[in-house]
Structure 1
Amino acid sequence: MVMASRRFLWLAAFALASSAFAGAGHASESEKMHAEPQADRPLGVVELFTSQGCSSCPPADAFFAELATKDDIVALAYHVDYWDYLGWKDTLSRKENTERQYDYMRAFGSRSVYTPQAVLNGRIHVNGANRTEVDGALARMARSGEGMRVAIKVSRTSDRVIIDAGDAGTGPSDAHVVIVYFEPPQTINIAQGENSGRKMTYWNAVTGIQTAGMWHGKAQRYELPISEIVKKGGCAVLLQSAGKDGMPGPILGAAFIHKP
């Protein structure tokens, strides 16, 4: 019964995500040109570091699938490659994802990396399978001013995506505008390794990260060619501060960039 319920959840959520990716596709060019920017100040950002070859990751992946369907969460899954030697090469893993996790390790002053690790708002990390810790930490950060305090508005014309970052108010006033590309939900049959025989649906698996510009605490606009967005399964923008050593810091704002 539990497996049937989870399957129903995934199927329903998959349909919801598919409609979100395709959402504005039927709008006229005139409507696209004059559409109002969409304000997005979510509850928080969840970055899950996971692997198809990690036996303790499936519960975190299932919980992440729920987070990925929430309107107030920007959820991104970074599949890492350091468990590939256990008998199954993660089909979604990327060296760059592993590098981002090591950057967080150094930023947090940790001595090692692990899966499933959930980094919340770029500020803390917890076990990605622990629903209570993830939900509780996001709520606490929102109350204490460590949530998404800078509004990110995304709009588009016929040939470009426009990202408007708001004013900082107080706190950090320098950040990178980070664009994160990810895949739509996909189901993988794992044939070998610690999860051999499992059939898993993975959400928002990251395929690329790039820095689109710098933000210095004042309202600023950034533009991307829409041709870059339509090539990808999905896209998010993170306004992420960085230390002097370049390590990732707190995420101050975030939004999804929906495909046209």
Structure 2
Amino acid sequence: MFRLWTPGHFTALALGLLAAIGPAEAENTGRPIGVVELFTSQGCNSCPPADAVLDELASRKDVVALAYHVDYWDYLGWRDALARPANSERQRKYAGTLQKSSVYTPQAIVNGHRDMNGANRAEVMSTLEALAGTAAGLQVDLSLEDTGDSIIVSVGSLPEGLEDKDISAHLVFVDYTPKSTVEIRAGENRGRTIQYRNAVNRIQTIGMWDGTARKFEMPRSELIQKGNGCALLLQRVDGSGLPGAILGAIALDP
């Protein structure tokens, strides 16, 4: 479930990580070519190939790649050690957005509005490339700057010609574990040891954005587990709160 935080509350989330990595590394202004969100499960025998694609994407500097482990396959005999109920809920909300009658794994969603089988490397990669630099790609710049005492998050404005008076978007914070190695001892993947990349631990909406450039300045915090990564997604939402197109993104590894 999303929780709405004000810019001041963002203090309590993201900045312990930035304090750990230091000022030089905390400055980040590059715009990724896209965001890939993979919904996966250790209990799904179709997922390891998709996990391998996500691993490849997570190694790239120009892609924000996030793995949402879901819990609805746990009954098959293996409880996914990285699953979170909130991850399954996010996928169900995407199903509403994408007008899907059900959820499935492995599902990859690119930029919040194109979905495909996450094991289909060619389709995932071609979709990323096709959307990059278009109106369906990432259009808004996000940057983080560590000044020593505080962190400044800058969110740009919509490019000229794409102004939308009715735009409604959330600034979404995502906490993830960069690498996790799991020995699967039961279920469909029994006997396999798999290294997972960028497994999402927590998702929280921390602010609202109306299409205009805005800065958030926050003091440091110690609430993020040391060693984790974080991402910020600027994502449209509809009137019922369903997630839509991702307009901008940034990620920081520890």
Quick check: TM above 0.5? Answer: yes
CA distance in 2, matches of 1:96, 1:158: 33
- Is 1:244 paired with 2:234? no
Report the counterpart of residue 171 of structure 2 in structure 1.
177
CA distance in 2, matches of 1:130, 1:82: 22
CA distance in 2, matches of 1:24, 1:40: 20
1:71 alignment partner AA = K
- Is 1:139 paired with 2:133? no
Report the counterpart of residue 63 of structure 2 in structure 1.
73
Contact 2:39-2:106 at 8 Å conserved across structures = yes
Q: State the Cα RMSD in Å.
A: 2.2
Gaps of 5+ in 2: 1-16
Q: Which structure has the higher relative contact order (CA within 8 Å, separation 6+)?
A: 2
Report the counterpart of residue 93 of structure 2 in structure 1.
103
- Is 1:59 paired with 2:49? yes
CA distance in 1, matches of 2:26, 2:191: 48
Report the counterpart of residue 6 of structure 2 in structure 1.
none
1:217 alignment partner AA = G
- The 1:39/1:143 distance shift into structure 2, 3 A limit, reads closer
Task: Note the C-alpha offset of 1:50.
Answer: 0.1
Contact 2:228-2:253 at 8 Å conserved across structures = no
2:41 alignment partner AA = S
SS of 2:222's partner is: helix
- The 1:220/1:193 distance shift into structure 2, 3 A limit, reads same
- The 1:63/1:35 distance shift into structure 2, 3 A limit, reads closer
SS of 1:184's partner is: strand
- The 1:159/1:222 distance shift into structure 2, 3 A limit, reads same
More helix by share: 1
Task: Please give the residue correspondences for 1:23-172 in structure 2 after superposition, counting only pairs within 5 Å.
Answer: 32=23, 37-169=27-159, 170-172=162-164
Contact 2:168-2:238 at 8 Å conserved across structures = no
What TM-score do the two structures reach when normalised by structure 2?
0.85
SS of 2:127's partner is: helix
Report the counterpart of residue 228 of structure 1 in structure 2.
223
- The 1:52/1:118 distance shift into structure 2, 3 A limit, reads same
CA distance in 2, matches of 1:238, 1:97: 15
SS of 1:228's partner is: coil
CA distance in 1, matches of 2:196, 2:180: 6
- The 1:41/1:166 distance shift into structure 2, 3 A limit, reads same
SS of 2:29's partner is: strand
Report the counterpart of residue 192 of structure 2 in structure 1.
198
- The 1:88/1:124 distance shift into structure 2, 3 A limit, reads same
Gaps of 5+ in 1: 1-21
2:131 alignment partner AA = M
What TM-score do the two structures reach when normalised by structure 1?
0.84
Contact 2:18-2:146 at 8 Å conserved across structures = no
Task: Note the C-alpha offset of 1:227.
Answer: 2.2
- Is 1:186 paired with 2:180? yes
Q: Aligned residues: percent identity?
A: 48
Report the counterpart of residue 211 of structure 1 in structure 2.
205
CA distance in 1, matches of 2:21, 2:82: 31
